[in-house]
A = this chain, B = another copy of it.
Amino acid sequence: MIKFSDCVNGMRTSEIRDLMSMAMKPEIITFAGGMPNNDLFPVKEIDEIYNGLDDATKKVGFQYGPTPGYPPLIESLKEYLRSKNLPVDSNDLIITSGSLQAINIIAKLFVNPGDTVITENPCFIGGTSAFKSYQANIVGIPLDSDGIIMDELKRAMENEAKDAKILYLSPYFHNPAGIIYSKKRKEELLKFLAGKELILIEDDPYSELYFNESDKDLTVPMKTIQPEPVPICYTGSFSKILGPGMRLGWLLATPEIINKAQLTKQSMDACSSTFTQVLADQFLRKGKLRPYVERLREIYSRRMKIMNDSLVKNMPPEAKWVVPKGGFYFWITLPEKVDALEVLKESMSKGAIFVIGRTFDPEGIKNNCFRLAFSHTPEDEIDKGVKIISEALKARL
């Protein structure tokens, strides 16, 4: 009677669950979770905010809010997005329960069973889960260090992905690939997509986390370059710039799409937590975001460098990676014959874990690669963990 059994890949979900339970053990060095370290959260700032709220505002936080979002947060978020040159006036905004819910809503709006969705390969597992949960047929297109490979995309769109409804991309400090799209690639992409009947989801949870000011230019969203005629659904999140536990993200899209998204969200959870929306609004409004994010950039950048130094020192030459310019991840590619699961098993037995490649392959196959997250690993554990994984890998070559 249950129709849902094959829509989400349970094997991968349980793999992640196993890893997470390993990650809870204090003796294990974990590069598995794609999340900030608990020690990085802005507890002091939120304490100050919470205790500065008057009772009337607190009470609003206990109450239902409008489905599109707590109005003051809509305003402060628009201000924030406006500062990135995003078209907040010609488009509409809805607050969602993480950007994942935004993706899920778009999937619900546009995907009928069997419809094709194009993603990157590798791809954020939340994206593939959301699409698969509506029984989409996913076509994954490989990436190079500049973004999605245009020839592969074009070829797919002339063949197996000809009638695709959605193209889902995560161009900025990609999870798991760690890359950022070049300006040229984004332009090629928009030129190619112009006039095509395809919804482009530009998922952007990490772009604030660039490591060098000189790379900030790379984080300019496609939605600002050419909002028309490519109908871009731009999604973002407070998860990496405040805390995932708030469960707050957003979708910026055409009024027509936002109107449908509101109806969908209304039937999903009525509204996102007003309580956490009140806090997020004050976080923006009181100017606490910028200094916090600057602090994060410094910390993540240092962790990235430590990890890169350790990788250079310890990894065998067969292992390849792109040095990330921001975000949370190294994506390690190995010779075809190597199975990352074997490396993981060995490495786990020695005390270090990560997420294997096939987790991020929409088909769940390609496994000569793995993801190392440096976002939540203390600096003094990184080198030790990388050494363990490098040894495990060498033993498999």
Binding site for B on A (CB under 8 A): 1-5, 7-8, 10, 13, 20, 33, 35-36, 38-39, 41-43, 46-47, 50-51, 55-56, 58-66, 97-98, 100-101, 104, 108-110, 112, 126, 129-130, 132-133, 165, 197, 239, 242-247, 256-257, 260, 263-264, 266-276, 279
A108 with B4: CB separation less than 8 A: yes
B270 with A4: CB separation less than 8 A: no
Chain A contact residues: helix, strand, loop or mixed: helix
In whole angstroms, how far apart are the Cα atoms of A39 and B270 in the complex? 21
B101 with A269: CB separation less than 8 A: yes
**Given A8-B263, A133-B264: A3 and B110 interface contact (C-beta under 8 Å):** yes
From B165, B245, B267, B268, A275 is in contact (CB under 8 Å) with B245
A62 with B245: CB separation less than 8 A: yes
**List of 3 A-B pairs having minimum Cβ-Cβ separation, nearest first:** A62-B243, A245-B274, A41-B62
Of listed A39, A62, A64, A274, residue having the most chain B CB within 10 A = A62
B267 with A110: CB separation less than 8 A: no
From B4, B104, B132, B243, A63 is in contact (CB under 8 Å) with B243
A244 with B50: CB separation less than 8 A: no
CB neighbours of A242 from chain B (8 A) = 62
Q: Which residue of B lies closest to A128 (CB)?
A: B267
CB neighbours of A41 from chain B (8 A) = 58-59, 62-63
B263 with A10: CB separation less than 8 A: yes
A246 with B100: CB separation less than 8 A: no
In whole angstroms, how far apart are the Cα atoms of A242 and B274 in the complex? 13
In whole angstroms, how far apart are the Cα atoms of A69 and B290 in the complex? 31
Cβ contacts A to B, 28 pairs, < 8 Å: A1-B165, A2-B256, A3-B112, A7-B263, A13-B266, A20-B66, A35-B64, A41-B62, A41-B63, A43-B62, A46-B62, A61-B245, A62-B243, A62-B245, A63-B244, A64-B245, A97-B268, A97-B269, A97-B272, A98-B269, A104-B268, A133-B263, A133-B268, A244-B270, A245-B275, A246-B275, A269-B269, A276-B276
CB neighbours of A101 from chain B (8 A) = 268-269
Q: Which residue of B lies closest to A129 (CB)?
A: B267
CB neighbours of A1 from chain B (8 A) = 110, 165, 197
Q: In the assembled complex, how far is the CB of residue A56 from the closest CB belonging to chain B, in whole angstroms? A: 8
A63 with B43: CB separation less than 8 A: no
Q: In the assembled complex, how far is the CB of residue A39 from the closest CB belonging to chain B, in whole angstroms? A: 7
**Given A97-B97, A110-B3, A197-B1: A65 and B270 interface contact (C-beta under 8 Å):** no
CB neighbours of A274 from chain B (8 A) = 244-245, 247
B267 with A130: CB separation less than 8 A: yes
CB neighbours of A269 from chain B (8 A) = 97-98, 100-101, 104, 247, 269
A243 with B275: CB separation less than 8 A: yes
CB neighbours of A271 from chain B (8 A) = 247
20 more A-B residue pairs beyond the given contacts A13-B266, A41-B58, A63-B244, with a C-beta to C-beta distance below 8 A:
A2-B257, A5-B260, A8-B263, A8-B267, A35-B63, A35-B64, A38-B62, A62-B244, A62-B245, A64-B245, A97-B268, A104-B268, A129-B263, A129-B266, A130-B267, A130-B268, A244-B274, A245-B274, A245-B275, A247-B275
Q: In the assembled complex, how far is the CB of residue A97 from the closest CB belonging to chain B, in whole angstroms? A: 4
A245 with B63: CB separation less than 8 A: yes
A268 with B266: CB separation less than 8 A: no
